[in-house]
Amino acid sequence: MSNRLAHETSPYLLQHADNPVDWWPWSDEAFEEARRRDVPVLLSVGYSSCHWCHVMAHESFEDRVTADLLNAHFVSVKVDREERPDVDAVYMEAVQAATGHGGWPMTVFLTPEAEPFYFGTYFPPEPRHNMPSFRQVLQGVQQAWADRREEVTDVAGKIARDLAGREISYGDSKAPGAAELGQALLGLTREYDPQRGGFGGAPKFPPSMVLEFLLRHHARTGAEGALQMAQDTCERMARGGIYDQLGGGFARYSVDRDWVVPHFEKMLYDNALLCRVYAHLWRSTGSALARRVALETADFMVRELRTAEGGFASALDADSDDGTGRHVEGAYYAWTPAQLTEVLGAEDAELAAQYFGVTEEGTFEHGSSVLQLPQHEGVFDAERIASVRRRLLAARDARPAPGRDDKVVAAWNGLAIAALAETGAYFDRPDLVEAAVAAADLLVRLHLDDHARLARTSKDGRAGANAGVLEDYADVAEGFLALASVTGEGVWLDFAGLLLDHVLTRFGDGSGALYDTASDAERLIRRPQDPTDNATPSGWTAAAGALLSYAAHTGSEPHRTAAEQALGVVKALGPRVPRFIGWGLAVAEALLDGPREVAVVGPEQGDDAARALHRTALLGTAPGAVVAVGAEGSDEFPLLADRPLVGGAPAAYVCRNFTCDAPTTDPERLRTALNG
C-alpha cells in the first residue's frame, strides 16, 4: 500500500511512496501528528539522483523491521532538498555545526516544534566504520525521548535559539573595488592546483562561478594568470572522466584530484553553468576545445534533459542497471577492453582504448575504465575516431539508462536559458535559442502567477506547491535578461523586471542584505540566509548580478543601488574565501567595468549589417555588458531611445551609465570598444 507521498509531484518523494515507512511530506499536519502522539520527528532529506540516498532507502526504508520501529516511535517526514532548499539549508546548518560535515541523505531528529536535537547523514543497516546502525540510532533516540525528555528538549531549544540568532556579517554595504578583487585573485592562486587544474583536493568540483570571475577579471585587467587558470582548468575537466566523452555533459564532481573518476550523476545546473563558461572561454580565446564542449554540453541538455513541456529536467541518476538487475553506479558510462572489442572489433578497439585511456587494470571498478582524452586528438585519424564515437554511443544507448528526475526547477531552468541563448547566438545555432525561448515560455506560463510570483518546481505540466526562493527569482531573471539581449524581444526584460521587483520588496532586510526566502514565506526556526556559492550561485549574489544588469538596461537607480549594497558581502568575503563567492566576484567585475550598455539600432526589418553589429556586441568580452537590439525608434528597450541610424546605416552605441561614446557602423571598431 502506498503512503502519503503517493500524492506528491517530486520524483524523489515518489521513489518512497511504496516504502513500508509511514512517510509524511513536510507539512503542519506532520508536526501536529507528532504533538498528538507525543513522539519526535525523523526528518530525512535527499534528492532523486543522490547515490547514498538510494542506498539508505534500500537498506533501511524498504526494510519492514526498520519501518515498524519508525512507525511506532516517530513521525517520519521526507523532504526533497531540491523542492525545499529552505528546509534543507536550515537543518544542514545545524548538522554541519554539530558534526563538522554535511551531506545527503541528511538525517535529523526534531521535537514536535521542529527544533533539532540529533544529527547525521547516512547510517548503515549494521554498525560499521565506527558508525552505529540506523536501528541503533532509532532505539537510542527513542530511549532518550522516553527517559530524558527534559534534557532533549533543553538541547533542542538551545540549538534552535543559536540558529535563529546567527546573523550574516556582510561588510559595509559597499561593493568591492579593484584592490579587493586583486586580493581574491591572489587567494585563488594560492589554492590553485597547477598540475591538475581546479582548486583544492579530492573530491574536486567544477569551479564554474570562479571560472566566470577569472574570465571577467582577465577581460577587465588583462591578467594572464587569471586566464591561464581558467583555460587549464577547463581543458583538464574536458579531457577527464568528469566529462562524458561520448554524449557530452558533465558529471557532478570527481572523486579524485585528477578529474578521472566522477560521481556519475549529471545535474542540469552544472551543465548549464559549464556550458556558459566554455562558451565564454571560446569568446575570449577562440579555443576549438571550448567551442566543442560548449556545443556538446548544450546538445546534451536539449537531448537528454528537455521535458515534453519544453522545460529542462533536474538530473540523471548516477546508478543504472548493470545488465544483471543490480543498480550500479557508473554502469552506463564505464567500459572494459572486452566491451570495446565486442562493439568495435579488435583493431578499432585497440585504437579506442589508446584514445580514451581504457586499460586492462581499469581506472574505475572491476577492471572498467571511465573514458578520458589523455592525449591530444591531433595524433589520431579524425574520421576513424568519429566512427568509433558513433558506434560506442549507439552501443551505450542500448544499455539500461540512468533514471531521470523530471522535476523542472525554476532557478536551474533560468541558468539553462541563459546558457542556451548565448551558446546558440555565438555559434549560429538558432535551435538552441529556440529551446531557451521554449523553456522561458514554460516558466511564464506555468511557474509565474498573476502577481509574478514564482513556483519553485513543476512536473508533467503541473506546478508544484512550493514557493520560489531567492535563487529562483534571481536565476530566472538572469535567464530572461540573456534572452532579451539575444532575441531583441523586450518582453523578457519586462518579465525580469517583475521578478526583480519581488527581490526588492520581499527578500531584502532594508540595508543591503538578502534572505533566501521571502518575507511572507513559511516561517522556519531560522530564516535562511547564505551569500556563499554552493553548486550554484547563491541567491544573494545571483540577485546582485540580475539587479545590476537590469539597471544597466533601464537606468533604474533603485536596482543599481540594491546591487551595489548586496555586493558588500563580496567585499567582506572575497579576499578571504574567494572559492566560495565566485559569482559575487564576477558580478563585482561587471560593476567595476560599468557594466557597459550596448544599443544596436537597425532598420525596421533588420539586415545583415545590423545582425553583424548585434553578433559582435554579444561576443564582446566586457564583463557583464548588456545588449539591446531593435529598429530605430523602437520602444522595446530603454537603451534604444533616441538612438538614430548613422547616415542611414545600422549603428552601435557603447555606453556606461547611459553616457555613450560616438556610435559606430563598423563591427571591427565595435569589437575593439568591447574587448578593451
Whole-number pLDDT of residue 663:
96
Task: State the amino acid at position 35 in one-letter form.
Answer: R
Percentage of residues of the chain with pLDDT beyond 90:
86
Contact predicate 209/582, CB 8 Å: yes
Determine the average pLDDT of the residues in 153-176.
80
For strand 626-631 and strand 596-602, is the pairing parallel, antiparallel, or unpaired?
parallel
The yes-or-no verdict on residue 510 having pLDDT over 90 is no
Cα torsion for 666, 670, 673, 676, to the nearest 10°? -110
Q: Is 673 helix (H, G, I), strand (E, B) or coil?
A: helix
C-alpha to C-alpha distance for 123 and 137, rounded to whole angstroms: 8
Cell numbers representing residue 152 in the block: 532533549
* N- to C-terminal Cα separation, the chain: 66
Whole-number pLDDT of residue 362:
95
Contact predicate 515/528, CB 8 Å: yes
C-alpha to C-alpha distance for 17 and 261, rounded to whole angstroms: 32
For strand 315-316 and strand 404-405, is the pairing parallel, antiparallel, or unpaired?
antiparallel
Whole-number pLDDT of residue 130:
81
Determine the average pLDDT of the residues in 68-90.
96
Whole-number pLDDT of residue 169:
62
Confidence of residue 1 (pLDDT cuts 50, 70, 90): low
Whole-number pLDDT of residue 633:
87
Query: Please, what is the average pLDDT of the chain?
Result: 94
Whole-number pLDDT of residue 648:
93
Q: Is 184 helix (H, G, I), strand (E, B) or coil?
A: helix
Whole-number pLDDT of residue 172:
66
Contact predicate 56/12, CB 8 Å: no
Which residues are within 8 A (CB) of 67 and not within 5 positions of it... i.e. 6 or more apart?
19, 20, 21, 22, 61
Determine the average pLDDT of the residues in 481-504.
98
The yes-or-no verdict on residue 171 having pLDDT over 70 is no
- Residue 98 C-beta-side C-alpha neighbours within 13 Å: 24
127-131, 261-265, 356-360: which has the minimum mean pLDDT? 127-131
Cell numbers representing residue 235 in the block: 581543458
The yes-or-no verdict on residue 536 having pLDDT over 90 is yes
pLDDT, tens digit (0-9, with 9 covering 90-100), for 97-113: 878 788 899 999 999 99
Percentage of residues of the chain with pLDDT beyond 70:
99
Contact predicate 152/140, CB 8 Å: no
Task: State the amino acid at position 29 in one-letter form.
Answer: E
The yes-or-no verdict on residue 404 having pLDDT over 80 is yes
The yes-or-no verdict on residue 267 having pLDDT over 70 is yes
More confident residue, 231 or 2: 231
Place of cell 547566438: 425
Q: Is 111 helix (H, G, I), strand (E, B) or coil?
A: coil
What's this model's pTM, rounded to 2 decimal places? 0.95
Interior angle at CA 663, CA 661 and CA 664, nearest 5: 125
Whole-number pLDDT of residue 369:
96
C-alpha to C-alpha distance for 560 and 300, rounded to whole angstroms: 36
C-alpha to C-alpha distance for 242 and 236, rounded to whole angstroms: 10
C-alpha to C-alpha distance for 408 and 178, rounded to whole angstroms: 38
More confident residue, 203 or 99: 203
The yes-or-no verdict on residue 133 having pLDDT over 70 is yes
Determine the average pLDDT of the residues in 630-641.
93
